[in-house]
Structure 1
């Protein structure tokens, strides 16, 4: 641990530890200067940061990335305690526990704009809260327009898919979960899915969903995989005038999609990713309320925890997905 002295207002330390991806598939823990909050910013003493599947390309390496990556990047799912505030900050104070939308959170400290942090209530004390992915689930659910009595198929049951199963069931929908791993299907059942189908044979899946819906298919289909085949499969499973929601992060180039089918069925195709940071913050606030009220329960989905020192193993497991792996957290306490 670093040599720090915490006062009521701020630490007297001048350095911190942070993960640096130096080359593809190589990460080092380095000692770097402690960031100082500017006007309108806060510095957080992080308790932890979620590991996101969107990190995989920068971890594996792509021609459009340059290395070394900035220290702490691409960690963006941090939570912790406000440890110092910049000039003009009045919405949070030192000592507040918050979830943050910041981008260098594979580190002991990070800086965030004060309007991009969300206070965590006492009811969540001591509990991990990777705000960005929880908020993302809430925003996708909102965009999906799910209501009681609908049939909803969710493709890809990882952290996001499992949360969406919980939200859809709470809304009163019938949920069909489709995923590759047997473990994921079991998890979907625990989250309340009414039916589970292995994501294996394209045409058998279509037939099974047809049988389950009397040939009508699904009012809503949410694709969470970020892959081309499941995206096209999702179109096949959406009923006429239904809504196909793209929740997967399609980050590895172009996709060929069956626009003829989408057109013929008159589908509403919704790209549910938000880009306005304030929309993310709204989602995080909604997630705080949903967890506090028991509408969603993310804790069983936090299956793996790592320290900063073994973050290389965390990235390896994120990429290889060992059995039972859903959501990994990097913790700093």
Structure 2
């Protein structure tokens, strides 16, 4: 007869810890993949099993490196365009449940999971099932469009026809505006045309662009100009393209220092210069809700602009595409499946 095993010999059964896989910027232009225990959502929070995240141009400084950044950055950061399915709900959450497909404002979305506050989450309707939906940049486009106050019959110049510029072309056209798209890359100009731009102008020679837009507008220039590049020269160009008592909307993310601007022209023409960047999270949430409705109504179709898809393990390649912008590139998506 075999003797019973001692307590020390008995197998110990423990609850298996869920792991989160994250891309980590260990140093400028160096990404590693790390696994760590998945945190539980706290009161008022949910955990989202991410399907993916968009890659934003605002990531470029931390990818390239600046003196004021510390490395390694937090796992999953600076990803902030995630969407996915809720797989855990914290205490006190009332409007969300496990299994809801959502997009959210989170800040570590280059990962398999991220934590979000209940009030920072937007449910996705069934018509978006199976579709990538990075809510934050789409909400940003809607908020910029709202601040632009575009009306039927106006002439609108969009300076920079990347992802944001292409969305704004669609939205301006949905309002009945005439759109002039100005961009550097031939592929971007073609994309702008496909998005509905009435006129396309190559962003090359400063004064030739001004003369071309002057000719297209019978010398009046544009009632609205939206600058989407985040660069000094196109911002000054945008001032020159804005007509008297027009509005210049700064949508580009200016992140690399001071700007010298043609304030004389701003004053002379009485131009309203508007920064369209929001800081209230609930403004972004409302923008995301507005974006869902714009897609539902056919006013905005972002899906053709998701031109490149990378896995989490290919994060460095995604960053290289973001900075180098090869032909055919508009917007990269990171998937976690």
3-state SS in 1 of match to 2:146: helix
Q: Does 1:111 align with 2:118?
A: no
* Residue number in structure 2 paired with 1:197: 201
Structure 1 stretches of at least 4 aligned residues deviating more than 3 Å after TM superposition: none
Offset of 1:185 from its aligned partner? 0.3
Once the two structures are TM-superposed, the CA of residue 25 in structure 1 deviates from its matched residue by: 0.1
Partner of 1:5: none
User: Residue in 2 aligned with 1:170?
Assistant: 174
Deviation at 1:12, TM superposition (A): 5.9
Map of 1:227 onto structure 2: 231
The answer to whether the 8 A contact 2:41-2:88 is kept is: yes
Partner of 2:148: 144
Residue in structure 1 matched with residue 215 of structure 2 by the alignment: 211
Q: Post-superposition shift, 1:13? A: 4.1
Pick from 43, 48, 51: which aligns with 2:52? Answer: 48
2:304 to 300, 304, 307: 300
CA offset at residue 263 of structure 1?
Answer: 0.7
**In 2, Cα distance between the equivalents of 1:14 and 1:136?**
33
Q: What is the alpha-carbon distance in structure 2 between the residues aligned to residue 113 and residue 62 of structure 1? A: 30
Shift in Å, 1:183: 0.3
In the alignment, structure 1 segments of 5+ residues that lack a partner are: 1-10
Structure 1 residues 249-258 or 30-39, which shifts more? 30-39
Give the TM-score normalised by structure 1: 0.96
CA distance in 1, matches of 2:141, 2:72: 31
Q: CA deviation at 1:36?
A: 1.5
Question: Within 1, Cα distance between the matches of 2:194 and 2:326?
Answer: 19
Distance 1:283 1:319 in 2: 27
Q: State yes or no: 1:276 paired with 2:280.
A: yes
Match of 2:6 in 1: none
Q: Give the paired residue count.
A: 323
271, 277, 284: which one aligns with 1:267:
271
Q: How far is the alpha carbon of 1:295 from its aligned partner?
A: 1.1
Query: C-alpha distance in 1, partners of 2:267/2:95?
Result: 47
Tell me what 1:91 maps to: 95
Alpha-carbon distance in structure 1 between the residues aligned to 2:308 and 2:287: 24
Distance 2:208 2:16 in 1: 62
Deviation at 1:14, TM superposition (A): 2.4
Where does residue 132 of structure 2 map in the other structure?
Answer: 128
What secondary structure does 1:241 align onto?
A: strand
Q: Secondary structure at the match of 1:111?
A: strand
Q: Unaligned regions of 5+ residues in structure 2, if any?
A: 1-14
Residue aligned with 1:315, SS = helix
Deviation at 1:108, TM superposition (A): 0.2
CA RMSD in angstroms comes to 0.9
Structure 1 segment 10-49 matched on structure 2, within 5 A: 13-49=17-53
Q: Which has the larger radius of gyration?
A: 2
CA distance in 1 between counterparts of 2:235 and 2:56 reads 20
Distance 2:327 2:238 in 1: 25
Equivalent pair of 2:230/2:255 in contact (CA under 8 Å): yes
Q: CA deviation at 1:294?
A: 1.5
Per-residue CA deviation, residues 26-78 of structure 1 (Å, 9 max, x unaligned), is 00011112122111110000000000000000000000000000000000000
Aligned to 2:165: 161
Distance (whole Å) between structure 2 residues aligned to residue 222 and residue 328 of structure 1:
23
CA displacement 1:284-331 (0-9 Å, x = unmatched): 000011112211111100000000111110111111111110000000
